[in-house]
Amino acid sequence: MCGIVGYIGDENVTGVIIEGLKKLEYRGYDSAGIALCSEKNPLIVRKKKGRISNLEELIEEEKLFSHTGIGHTRWATHGEPSDRNAHPHTDMSGRIAVVHNGIIENYAELKEELIEKNGSVFQSDTDTEVAAHLIGSYYQGDLEDAVYRATQKMRGAYAFGVICADEPDKIVAARKDSPLIVGLGRKGNFIASDIPALLKYVRQIYLIENNELVVLKENEVKIYNADREEVHRDVFNVTWDEDAAEKEGYDHFMIKEIHEQPAGIRDTLGRRVDDQGEIILDGIELTREDLEQFNRIYIVACGTAYHAGLIGKFAIEKLAKVPVEVDVASEFRYRDPFIDNHTLFIAISQSGETLDTLGALRMAKEKGARIMSVVNVVGSSIARESDDVFYTWAGPEIAVASTKAYTTQLICMYLIALYMGRKKGVLSEKLYRLILEELTIIPDKLEALLEEQDHIKEIAEQMYQHNDAFFIGRGVDASVAFEGSLKLKEISYINSFAIAAGELKHGTIALIDKGTPVVALATQTALLEKTVSNIQEVKARGAYVFAVAQEGSKDQLKDADEVILIPQCMDEISPILSIVPLQLLAYQIAKLRGCDIDKPKNLAKSVTVE
Ligand code: AGP
């Protein structure tokens, strides 16, 4: 986790770094810090617990000035959030400063060695301070060499930005398993954890690869590989609009992103279905022979992306007739799944940097699987390490709670399932055309559904004071229930629990009392009667029931206290619509509870630690 940024150039770095950090705050925000150096000044380090605004307040009066600096926004891994544990950290001499995203796994061992050999004294509980001391212990007037030698001793993941008071004309950066980019500006050069941090200043980017080291000067950037040979890197031109990363008048990024779903879906679909209704999987070559030789598919992801995988399994099994197993990445990578060269591994990830998903991908790759990924962030690690990438074109997602990435992931999963089924010849032309047609009109239906906001706000008013909530559903509705429940708990801190509706009576129903909110998904025509029985069971125990169903089923749902009807659609694709009222419900409840919606406590947007 954590975000790093650095700048060397003509402008005063303080403003540039604070701006960059604000764009990276989604990666962690329990403390922030900055280090500057220049020919006239020794190293200046300022850091503060809490949000970046606290750091801004701290340095406001000082009018710090420099042309070389690094900054950090933290999501604690080693040591509590505090001023002391905030980055940057310095070496023993106080002349080298380091910002770091990742985890140094052998830091305890290294720390002991440093104490023994150099008498190092540490000020913090962090692994990063150990890295700073290690770099310092190798420093003999050449920062690049010291960083290189230190990284050779480290195990784990890192993206480092390092400056030294004795060499104020350079920033040295290094990467292993944590994201790092270089921005090429007209008045200087930048490093950052990701592209949005630099959009205000640059459009030309170098994507730094694993085990590479970068030396930045005001007018020069050099990249070296693990053997310290200089490497050439093509410039990646960013086409995103900076406005796309701003709130555009909405109160929060989350609500803006909920409203961006029709456009995101149109973009994701538009580039993949040609005039003849044929699906184009970008450059992905999946022949009939390829598909016939896959005897199993694993879909592996975390959190919301995992929930998209659950729907993906349903779609692929139904439309392409291949057995699919879905797993959370943190479990998958430490069990012994059966993988060989007849396995197709599909990773789903918004950020493309989730370390658990990346770890699972690498394991599957090593064992011979073909790797496909469904990713939102272009050029991210998961995208780069996959054999085939299928991008969701949701645009930058800033709110920690994922919304538009999820619905575009669903679109991708349906497209993959339709493509596979058709290529294999196991899907009828009629069903293929019907689903594709339905998908193309989904954005309009979604727009209509977004009009229901006021009604959902009324429902939120009934629910927001409760400390527990339950989500139930059958078939694909159960998967949507999991996602709706996650949305609610992560931004409103309500203890929310999702369960397959039929499982309620096997234990969980014991928790239903008078007034307990139950959100019931009832969009599946064939399962409607069964779900209605489950609604009656909780109603009989006094629950307050909010049901989401398809137009035309209101009569069957008269026991529910509130009903939101989604526009009629094929049962198979209802999840793209039925999740929207749940996203809005979570948003409205969190707002009523006064929560920090875009940056919920304890969470970060991009989870680059295990
Ligand atoms: C979504 O609302 C969550 N904050 C989280 O579960 C997220 O989906 C998960 O961490 C996976 O992230 P990724 O899609 O970037 O891999």
33, 87 in Cβ contact below 8 A?
Answer: yes
Does pLDDT of 292 surpass 70?
yes
Distance 22 CA to ligand 1 centre (A): 20
Give percent of the chain above pLDDT 90.
82
**Using one digit for the tens of pLDDT, what is the confidence trace for 158-211?**
999 999 999 999 999 999 988 899 999 999 999 999 888 999 999 999 999 999
31 lines ligand 1 (CB under 6 A): no
**Using one digit for the tens of pLDDT, what is the confidence trace for 320-347?**
999 999 999 999 989 999 999 999 999 9
399 lines ligand 1 (CB under 6 A): no
Residue whose entry in the numeric block shows the structure tokens 């010291």: 146
Does pLDDT of 396 surpass 90?
no
Cα 28 from Cα 21, distance rounded (Å): 10
User: What's the pLDDT at 55?
Assistant: 95
User: What's the pLDDT at 388?
Assistant: 94
Cut 0.85: pTM above it: no
User: What's the pLDDT at 253?
Assistant: 94
User: For residues 254-263, b (16+ Cβ closer than 10 Å) or e, as one string?
Assistant: bbbbbbbbbb
Residues 133-153 have a mean pLDDT of 98
Query: For the residues of 260-329, what is the DSSP string, one character each?
Result: THHHHHHHHHHTTB-TTS-B--TT----HHHHHH--EEEEEE-HHHHHHHHHHHHHHHHHH---EEEEEH
The structure tokens listed for 31 are: 């403390």
User: How far does CA 570 lie from the centroid of its chain?
Assistant: 29
Closest of 190, 162, 180, 174 to residue 11, by C-alpha: 190
410, 576 in Cβ contact below 8 A?
Answer: yes
Distance 516 CA to ligand 1 centre (A): 28
**Using one digit for the tens of pLDDT, what is the confidence trace for 301-316?**
999 999 999 999 999 9
CA 192, 194, 199, 205 torsion-angle sign = positive
User: What's the pLDDT at 583?
Assistant: 98
Whose CA is closest to atom 8 on ligand 1? 304
User: What's the pLDDT at 609?
Assistant: 74
69, 104 in Cβ contact below 8 A?
Answer: no
Closest of 603, 538, 569, 291 to residue 438, by C-alpha: 569
Residues 256-283 have a mean pLDDT of 87
Does pLDDT of 520 surpass 90?
yes
State how beta strands 181-185 and 188-192 pair.
antiparallel
Mean confidence (pLDDT) of the chain: 94
The runs of H, that is alpha helices, within 339-380 are: 355-366
1 lines ligand 1 (CB under 6 A): no
Count of H-run helices and E-run strands, the chain: 18, 25
| Probe target for ligand 1 pocket from 607, 609, 610, with the most ligand atoms within 8 Å of CB | 607
Cα 250 from Cα 256, distance rounded (Å): 6
User: What's the pLDDT at 1?
Assistant: 64
Whose CA is closest to atom 9 on ligand 1? 303
Does pLDDT of 243 surpass 70?
no
**Using one digit for the tens of pLDDT, what is the confidence trace for 444-495?**
999 999 999 999 999 999 999 999 999 999 999 999 999 999 999 999 999 9
Rg of the chain over all Cα atoms, to the nearest angstrom: 25
325, 312 in Cβ contact below 8 A?
Answer: no
Residues 46-53 have a mean pLDDT of 94
168 contacts: CB under 8 Å, gap ≥ 6: 37, 38, 39, 66, 67, 68
225 contacts: CB under 8 Å, gap ≥ 6: 209, 211, 212, 231
User: What's the pLDDT at 331?
Assistant: 96
Catalytic (active-site) positions: 2, 605
| Probe target for ligand 1 pocket from 310, 350, 374, 407, with the most ligand atoms within 8 Å of CB | 350
Does pLDDT of 395 surpass 90?
no
